[in-house]
Amino acid sequence: MTFQKAIEPMTSPCFDEMNGGESVSPSAPRALYDRVARWLENSPPGLLDSRRQQAEMLFRRIGITFAVYGDKEAAERLIPFDIIPRLLGQDEWRRLEAGLIQRVKALNMFLTDVYGAQEIIRAGVVPADLVLRNPAYRPEMQGHRVPHDIWTHIAGIDVIRVDDRDFYALEDNCRTPSGVSYMLENREMMIRLAPDLFADHRVLPVENYPDALLASLRSVAPPHCPGDPNIVVLTPGQFNSAFYEHSFLADKLGVELVEGRDLAVRDDVVYMRTTEGLKRVDVIYRRVDDDFLDPLAFRPDSVLGAAGLMGAYLAGNVTLANAVGAGVADDKAVYTYMPEIIRFYLDEEPKLRNVTTWRCREPDALNYVLDHLSELVVKEVNGSGGYGMLVGPHASKEQIEAFRHKLKAAPEGFIAQPTLSLSTCPTSFPGGVAPRHVDLRPFVLSGAGGVRIVPGGLTRVALKEGSLVVNSSQGGGTKDTWILETDAATR
């Protein structure tokens, strides 16, 4: 699976999750990491290496792999797993959790509004063209209500920290965020491979995630759904890079894993082909992008979806999670308006910080950006995966000047942010331990009963020294994330 993400380079020094402050001295770890530090100190040389190899063997045997397209030799690869856990205290988690709940509530309200009355546009808070000309905006959905007004049932909010106080939301993923299987499997791996360290901590469990997900999905069944809703997971198939996760989730949910060819639509009702004939489907947890859902409504060449699915969806006979068109809430341009969006719908101050962002479409902001190009990261609004990006501190004079021209020619296509010093966490390598940059993706579930988050998430780690790219296709790895029952300052 590929985690698309490029994070701006750090300006050293930075906050280390274990050693705190700017210190890299292992003699003074934060209280939170007391036992981890001792464990690292007392581990005989070679132990971490052998555990890493064991983990790799287990991941291969279970088949927790991701496909790399066009790479025949290594058609199935592992995402490197690091055995040193990343810890958060109870108090830190509570703060983060409150911010995530607030943010996801606002995201759902924003989507309801955008596809409904569009009050936020009329109030002049968010410019109309950002929404209506957004490639992820689906005009088919305009005026459509979804059950309980929930659009992003499963949201992955990428957060980072630069000190021991604030969490920053770096990116919202409202479409089909992946990685939750790693959150769950990493925990199993830690219980197996570091039993002593695990027993030394009281870690809040994540294993109830599938139950929580199932409850969310059941709660959004179509209102006229007769009886117990039939829920399925829709996958593009086993050649998709995240197929393992799809089958893993279907298995843990106890529901069928279907492909487009297993579905049939008759009279605006979706069915699946079973050994006993057609059976009605009520809720589809789809891991197929909007574009590929229905060849009649979207890309006609798609074989991943089912013809007529969109008709059944608009008729209210089936629920899709996440909803069609939810992507309009998670692009970089809308991201910059998240603080205003939160204030507009909830009348509250945002609890998670947004990374300061200059919108180059605004003249004052543009002037500031042009004056500070060598300090800033400038991104294309519709770009992803680090393309079309200027990293000021790392760029040559010529690159900066070339970018200046691009920026002046079409300022509305760009945003700029300061370079952030992402926190680091001790990470094991063959022969040693060194700090590496990390981020965190918690998975936020929304259902009729409200917003729910299992305590934890996927910690991604940039394995190359100095690298801030946690992208799995570029040497990014993962860690287990432990939320402790005690506060961060408790020893």
Partner 1 sequence: MLARTADNLFWVSRYLERADFLARLIEASRRISALPIAYTAARDEWKSVLMASGADETFFDHFDIADEANVTAFLAFDERNPSSIRNCIEFGRANARAVRTALTTEMWEGINSAWLELKKFETAHREAGRIDREDLIGFLEYVKTTSSLYDGSGYRSMLRNDAYYFSRLGVYVERADNTARVLDVKYHVLLPEQETVGGSVDYFQWSAILRSVSALTAYHWVYRESIKPWNVADLLILRPEMPRSLISCYDNIVRFLDALAAQYGRQGASQRHARNIKRRLEGASTGEIFQSGLHEFVDEFVNENNRLGAEITEQYLIG
Tokens read off for 453: 């988050």
Pairing of strands 283-286, 81-88: unpaired
Task: State which of residues 4, 41, 62, 142 lies at the interface with partner 1 (CB under 8 A).
Answer: 62
Q: Are 61 and 78 in contact (CB under 8 A)?
A: no
In this structure, the dihedral spanned by the alpha carbons of residues 375, 417, 412 and 336, taken in order and rounded to 10 degrees, is -170
Q: Are 312 and 347 in contact (CB under 8 A)?
A: no
Separation CA 206–CA 454 (nearest Å): 6
Q: Between residues 165 and 261, which has the closer beta carbon with respect to partner 1?
A: 261
Task: State which of residues 61, 133, 224, 491 lies at the interface with partner 1 (CB under 8 A).
Answer: 61
53 touches partner 1 (CB under 8 A): no
171 touches partner 1 (CB under 8 A): no
Would you give the DSSP letter of residue 37? H
Number of H helices, E strands in the chain: 14, 23
464 touches partner 1 (CB under 8 A): no
Give me the DSSP letters along 178-196: --HHHHHHHHHHHHHH-HH
Q: How far is the CB of 487 from partner 1 (least distance, A)?
A: 37
Q: How far is the CB of 238 from partner 1 (least distance, A)?
A: 5
Pairing of strands 476-483, 458-462: antiparallel
Other Cβ atoms within 10 Å of 351 Cβ, number: 18
139 touches partner 1 (CB under 8 A): no
Separation CA 341–CA 334 (nearest Å): 9
63 touches partner 1 (CB under 8 A): yes
Q: How far is the CB of 85 from partner 1 (least distance, A)?
A: 24
Q: Residue written as tokens 């001790």? A: 426
In residues, how long is the chain?
491
Q: How far is the CB of 251 from partner 1 (least distance, A)?
A: 4
238 touches partner 1 (CB under 8 A): yes
Separation CA 416–CA 390 (nearest Å): 9
38 touches partner 1 (CB under 8 A): no
Q: Which stretch binds partner 1 (CB under 8 A): 97-105, 120-128, 257-265, 368-376?
A: 257-265
# residues near partner 1 by CB under 8 A: 24
Task: State which of residues 11, 25, 28, 60 lies at the interface with partner 1 (CB under 8 A).
Answer: 60
Q: Between residues 49 and 256, which has the closer beta carbon with respect to partner 1?
A: 256
Q: Give me the 65-104 binding string for partner 1, x by CB under 8 A, dash otherwise.
A: ----------------------------------------
Tokens read off for 169: 């939301």
Coil, strand or helix at 5: coil
Site for partner 1 in 261-280 (CB under 8 A): 261-262, 272-278
Could you give the angle at the alpha carbon of 243 between the alpha carbons of 241 and 244, nearest 5°? 110
432 touches partner 1 (CB under 8 A): no
Q: Which stretch binds partner 1 (CB under 8 A): 61-69, 176-184, 331-339, 420-428?
A: 61-69
The enclosing H or E element of 266 equals strand 263-266
Q: How far is the CB of 232 from partner 1 (least distance, A)?
A: 9
Q: Between residues 188 and 340, which has the closer beta carbon with respect to partner 1?
A: 188
Tokens read off for 334: 């809308």
Q: Which stretch binds partner 1 (CB under 8 A): 151-159, 168-176, 251-259, 333-341?
A: 251-259
Q: How far is the CB of 453 from partner 1 (least distance, A)?
A: 25
Residue 458 phi, psi (nearest 5) = -100, 115
Q: Between residues 277 and 300, which has the closer beta carbon with respect to partner 1?
A: 277
Site for partner 1 in 271-330 (CB under 8 A): 272-278
Residues binding partner 1 (CB under 8 A): 60-63, 237-238, 243, 247-248, 250-251, 256-259, 261-262, 272-278
